[in-house]
């Protein structure tokens, strides 16, 4: 804007000077020539003014913009600081359920102790599990003693691996019909008094049950004198007199035997005696045992 003012001021002075030259005091030969001269002068002034204004607003040069931004593409260089370990290969853990036991465990043909034992899983052996029972306490595996068959093993001492939740649930087979074994039983009775370096009551025993007996224990008490004697041999011994004796290792079902009760050092005749007799299926008064008591007076 300041350049425009500096250029316009001389032009205005020039216009005024020309105009002053054309004042009425100046004589011209041709009035029309005067008008033409003035018009031409004004046209020249206007043109000069336009050129001056145009020059004032025409830039002589434009600034040059130099970009200093540098774009770098790609990944930065990395200097390794050590030896990189290769990524370990992924080894999937087996999802198939397996079972092992911490103590030898029976394998049965059903999930429960009422079923027959058909095999046993030993410590250190791992087997595949194929099913479970509704209680979650028994597991269905191949019979360790017969691989073509299957059986149920108790999970009390078991360690399981794999996805047991995917195992099917098997309905237990019907409970086996079991005929209860009659309890062991016997009959006992007083059969006489043997005198031979002492007084020995004789007792007759008959096995009335289905269990074979292998040991006998007899406690004999004289209730009149409170004298008691006891013996428990692993055989059925009889001393019918002072010179002979018999002995049996077992008392089979339906069989009878006479045994000598513990003797007294005095004659118990006329005294009330009580004999408590215990018969057992195993030696040493063990196994299945049954007891009976009889009283008698020699």
> Around Cβ 189, how many Cβ atoms within 10 Å?
13
Instruction: Write out pLDDT tens, residues 182-197.
Output: 789 999 999 999 998 8
* pLDDT at residue 176, rounded to an integer: 74
| Chain position carrying tokens 């001389």 | 10
> Which whole-number Å values give the CA distances from 148 to 143, 145, 204, in the listed order?
7, 9, 53
Quick check: is 106 in a domain?
yes
Domain boundary among the residues 134, 166, 198 is at: 166
> Which whole-number Å values give the CA distances from 135 to 111, 131, 223, in the listed order?
9, 12, 57
Query: What is the secondary structure of 153-168 as a DSSP string?
Result: EESTTEEEES-GGGSP
* pLDDT at residue 62, rounded to an integer: 45
Residues 141 and 191 in one domain: no
Q: Is the pLDDT of residue 295 over 60?
A: yes
The overall average pLDDT reported for the chain is 78
Residues 264 and 191 in one domain: yes
Read off the tokens for 199: 């007084």
CA 293/CA 296 separation, integer angstroms: 10
List all residues 6 or more positions away from 186 whose beta carbon is below 8 Å from its beta carbon: 205, 206, 207, 208, 209, 213, 251, 277, 279, 290, 292
Quick check: is 236 in a domain?
yes
Quick check: is 288 in a domain?
yes
Instruction: Write out pLDDT tens, residues 240-288.
Output: 877 778 889 999 999 999 999 999 999 999 999 999 999 999 999 888 8
* pLDDT at residue 66, rounded to an integer: 47
Helix (H, G, I), strand (E, B) or coil at 25: coil
Quick check: is 175 in a domain?
no
* pLDDT at residue 244, rounded to an integer: 78
End-to-end distance of the chain based on CA atoms, in angstroms? 161
Quick check: is 8 in a domain?
no
* pLDDT at residue 64, rounded to an integer: 47
Give the global pTM: 0.43
Q: Is the pLDDT of residue 41 over 50?
A: yes
Instruction: Write out the residue range of the structural domain in which residue 145 sits.
Output: 98-166
Domain boundary among the residues 166, 197, 221 is at: 166
CA 96/CA 4 separation, integer angstroms: 98
Higher pLDDT, 54 or 163: 163
């Amino acid at each position: 804007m300041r350049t425009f003012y500096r250029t316009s001021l001389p032009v205005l002075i020039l216009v005024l000077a020309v105009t002053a030259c054309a004042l009425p005091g100046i004589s011209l030969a041709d009035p029309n020539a005067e008008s033409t001269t003035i018009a031409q002068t004004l046209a020249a002034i206007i043109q000069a003014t336009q050129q001056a204004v145009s020059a004032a607003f025409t830039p002589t040069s434009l600034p040059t913009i130099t970009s200093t931004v540098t774009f770098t593409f790609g990944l930065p260089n990395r200097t390794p600081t050590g030896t990189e370990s290769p990524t370990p290969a992924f080894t999937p853990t087996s999802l198939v359920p397996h079972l092992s036991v911490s103590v030898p465990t029976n394998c049965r043909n059903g999930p429960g102790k009422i079923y027959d034992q058909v095999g046993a899983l030993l410590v250190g052996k791992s087997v595949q599990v194929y099913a479970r029972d509704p209680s979650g306490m028994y597991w269905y595996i191949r019979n360790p003693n017969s691989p073509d068959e299957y059986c149920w093993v108790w999970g009390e001492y078991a360690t399981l691996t794999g996805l047991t939740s995917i195992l099917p649930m098997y309905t237990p087979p019907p409970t086996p019909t079991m005929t209860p074994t009659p309890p062991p039983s016997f009959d006992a009775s007083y059969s006489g008094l043997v005198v031979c370096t002492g007084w020995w009551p004789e007792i007759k025993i008959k096995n009335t049950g289905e269990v074979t007996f292998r040991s006998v224990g007899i406690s004999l008490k004289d209730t009149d004198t409170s004298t008691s004697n006891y013996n428990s041999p692993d055989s059925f011994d009889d001393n019918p007199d002072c010179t002979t004796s018999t002995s049996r290792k077992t008392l089979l079902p339906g069989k009878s035997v006479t045994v000598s009760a513990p003797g007294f050092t005095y004659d118990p005749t006329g005294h009330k005696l009580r004999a408590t007799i215990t018969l057992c299926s195993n030696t040493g008064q063990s196994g299945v045992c049954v007891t009976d008591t009889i009283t008698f007076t020699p």
